């Protein structure tokens, strides 16, 4: 015997909503549908035509209503038609209508005036303001419910308060610490967070609590987002990823609502990791001056409140990344919020080798000399190294090979740094000779000085970056500290190209523009930042902001001192220029032989150049 089942109670709609829908339908029918079935059409005419037809005895009936005159009259075909015109303040209109003849049986025009019945002010207010507002609210509410019903409870329907964060389940995050190379110190700092998420009991036993937040700081491309995903992958916990710009909205209060919703979801899925990329979009220092962004500040205040409010023992960890740590609000960086600051610096020599090894594992390759490639990519980020490996793979495919070689990687380094070769760029014989002497001038000055990086390659093949040639120097090791002699010798090397043009051709060209820019920048840094000028000793004359984004320099001295700094920079550059000119003059025979060899071959290696130089004394 089947048990009795109770049928679900019928769902009744809101009766008030039904009334509103009924009123809306009637208004639409009255305004749009009913006039379509009105067989009588009214033509519009002017008041003068109306008076003319009245005087001609063609008008049958006249009705004045709401400032309009409606009348029926005989048309050109002798049939009665309806017309409309605007009412004009005409005192003789009634007399005209009484005196005029009409085609009616009694010969008189039938006319009347309808006085409109005015509604009460309360009714007008209800009809003009309250009713449209209620109708709009019901339409919006019904549409919102319909969308939510279609998307389901897990749908990503954008609404007020929805965080919009990308949520990855613990099984979706495949990135681990093995995918991150060249950042051993950062991985070591984050390993403790992973261990806490794995085994919080041993920390709770001693009374320790998990750091609430860790701030990842470093230049672009150093792997901040990658290592945040690796933490989630190692800990096997859900991962909430969101950009700081997604919190900033047009309407005040929406960003704060997104923050509340994000932390509510995170608490429900704890333990988990929240990652906010480019947090400086909402975490900038609050400004009391007029013109502050109220929405951004409210969002920041809500973030600070949420970070104070949640329990760190639940295992909710906040990771944030930025390239501009100096712009963040001090309240965001205090202990109890972002407790740790993890530096993600550009990788050193061994770090670059490790990064190249990780990316080469994803492509087919032959035995590759990682040392050569790593030495040639000093100052490159992890993203740039990944691009270099990808360019090498593309080059191997273009040349019909199935594996990447060391030559592919070396060429891809030059492609990323100086651009691809411009095979269609044809230099005249004279221009080619000038470029050859220019590049040999750089190389010869470099090898004749101490503490200069060895010359790796010299070429006069034009590149898409605009360079007509270049001299590549590769340090054998990683240089961390630079002495005054190191920097001065670098400036002299940069001046070698222009000095060779002056010595050989007796004139100068625009080819030294980039050399001039770099030499001036180095000389100015020696004076203003590094304290390498005897005149100013250890006095700081310049500050650098946004160091991870190229650096913005600002002098911190008077205008008189700034002018004197220019003179000191000029002195350093001029001394380096004189030194380069002296080296090339003393070794003019090597300069001529090497330039002729380079014009013939277009590209020569460092070993070939050193064979031409031979055993010559180094200047210093």
Catalytic residues: 439
Angle at 124 between CA 120 and CA 125, to 5 degrees: 115
Examine residue 271 and say whether the peptide bond preceding it is cis (omega within 30 degrees of 0): yes
Helix (H) or strand (E) holding 414: helix 406-418
- Structure tokens belonging to residue 334: 């205090």
The terminus-to-terminus CA distance of the chain in angstroms comes to: 107
What stretches of 342-405 show up as alpha helix (H) in DSSP? 349-360, 370-376, 382-398
Which residue do the tokens 């002729």 mark?
596
What's the maximum distance between 2 C-alpha atoms anywhere in the chain?
Answer: 134
φ, ψ (nearest 5 deg) of residue 502: -65, -40
User: From the CB of residue 171, how many other CB atoms can be counted at a distance below 10 Å?
Assistant: 8
Label residues 287-307 b or e (16+ Cβ within 10 Å = b).
Answer: eeeeeebebbbbbbebbbebb
Would you say 495 and 515 are in contact if contact means Cβ atoms under 8 Å apart? yes
Angstrom distances, CA of residue 355 to CA of 181, 335, 375: 5, 33, 13
Closest listed residue to residue 278, CA positions, set 244, 248, 247: 244
Structure tokens at 302: 């809500």
Q: What is the DSSP string of 270-317?
A: -SEEEEEESTHHHHBPP--STT--HHHHHHHHHHHHHHHHS-GGG-EE
174/447 Cα distance (integer angstroms): 49
Bridge partners, residue 327, by sequence: none
Query: Is-contact 325 215, C-beta < 8 A?
Result: yes
- Is the sign of the CA dihedral 536, 542, 548, 551 positive or negative? negative
Q: Look at the chain and count its residues.
A: 620
Whose tokens are 């002017």? That residue is 46
Distances (CA, A) of 464 to 180, 395, 498, 611: 32, 16, 22, 30
Going by C-beta distance under 8 Å and a sequence separation of 6 or more, which residues neighbour residue 358? 179, 181
d(C-alpha 415, C-alpha 435), whole Å: 19
Quickly count: other Cβ atoms within 10 Å of residue 408's Cβ: 27
Q: What does the alpha-carbon distance between residue 186 and residue 548 come to, in Å, rounded to a whole number?
A: 17
């Amino acid at each position: 015997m089947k048990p009795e089942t109770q049928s679900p109670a019928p769902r009744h709609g809101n009766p008030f909503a039904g009334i509103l829908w009924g009123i809306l339908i009637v208004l639409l029918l009255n305004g749009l549908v009913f006039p379509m079935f009105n067989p009588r059409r009214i033509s519009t005419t002017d008041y003068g035509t109306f008076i003319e037809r009245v005087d001609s005895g063609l008008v049958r009936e006249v009705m004045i209503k709401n400032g309009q005159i409606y009348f029926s009259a005989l048309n050109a075909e002798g049939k009665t038609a309806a017309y409309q015109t605007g009412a004009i303040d005409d005192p003789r209109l009634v007399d005209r209508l009484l005196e005029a003849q009409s085609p009616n049986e009694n010969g008189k025009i039938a006319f009347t005036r309808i006085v409109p019945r005015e509604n009460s002010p309360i009714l007008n207010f209800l009809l003009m303001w309250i009713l449209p507002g209620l109708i709009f609210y019901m339409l919006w509410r019904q549409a919102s419910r319909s969308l939510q019903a279609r998307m389901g409870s897990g749908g990503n329907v954008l609404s007020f308060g929805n965080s919009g964060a990308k949520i990855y389940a613990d099984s979706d995050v495949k990135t681990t610490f093995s995918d991150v190379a060249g950042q051993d110190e950062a991985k070591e700092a984050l390993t403790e967070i992973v261990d806490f998420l794995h085994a919080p009991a041993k920390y709770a036993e001693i009374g320790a609590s998990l750091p609430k937040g860790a701030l990842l700081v470093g230049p672009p491309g150093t792997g901040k987002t990658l290592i945040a995903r690796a933490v989630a992958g190692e800990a096997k916990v859900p991962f909430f990823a969101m950009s700081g710009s997604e919190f900033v909205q047009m309407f005040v209060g929406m960003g704060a609502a997104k923050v509340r919703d994000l932390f509510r979801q995170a608490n429900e899925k704890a333990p988990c990791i929240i990652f906010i990329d480019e947090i400086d979009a909402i975490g900038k220092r609050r400004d009391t001056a007029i013109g502050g962004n109220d929405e951004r500040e409210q969002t920041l205040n809500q973030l600070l409140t949420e970070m104070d409010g949640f329990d760190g023992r639940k295992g909710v960890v906040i990771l944030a990344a930025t390239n501009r740590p100096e712009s963040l609000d001090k309240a965001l960086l205090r202990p109890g919020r972002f407790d740790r600051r993890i530096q993600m610096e550009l990788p050193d020599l061994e770090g670059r080798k490790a990064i190249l090894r990780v990316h080469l594992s994803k492509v087919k390759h032959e035995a590759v000399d990682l040392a050569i490639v790593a030495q040639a990519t000093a100052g490159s980020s992890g993203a740039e190294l990944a691009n270099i490996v990808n360019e090498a793979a593309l080059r191997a495919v273009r040349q019909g090979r199935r594996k990447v070689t060391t030559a592919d990687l070396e060429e891809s380094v030059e492609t990323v740094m100086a651009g691809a070769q411009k095979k269609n760029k044809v230099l005249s014989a004279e221009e080619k000779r000038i470029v050859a002497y220019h590049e040999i001038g750089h190389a010869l000055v470099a090898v004749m000085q101490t503490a200069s990086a060895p010359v790796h390659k010299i070429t006069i093949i034009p590149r898409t970056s605009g360079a007509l040639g270049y001299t590549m120097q590769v340090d054998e090791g990683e240089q961390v500290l630079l002495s005054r002699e190191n920097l001065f010798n670098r400036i002299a090397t940069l001046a070698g190209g222009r000095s060779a043009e002056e010595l050989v051709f007796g004139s100068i060209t625009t080819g030294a523009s980039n050399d001039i820019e770099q030499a001036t920048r180095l000389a100015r840094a020696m004076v203003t930042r590094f304290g390498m000028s005897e005149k100013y000793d250890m006095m700081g004359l310049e500050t650098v902001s946004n160091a991870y984004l190229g650096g913005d320099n600002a002098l911190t001295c008077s205008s008189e001192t700034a002018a004197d700094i220019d003179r000191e920079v000029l002195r350093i550059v001029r001394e380096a220029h004189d030194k380069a000119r002296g080296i090339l003059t003393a070794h003019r025979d090597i300069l001529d032989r090497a330039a002729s060899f380079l014009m013939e071959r277009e590209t020569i290696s460092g070993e070939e150049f050193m064979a031409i130089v031979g055993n010559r004394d180094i200047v210093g």
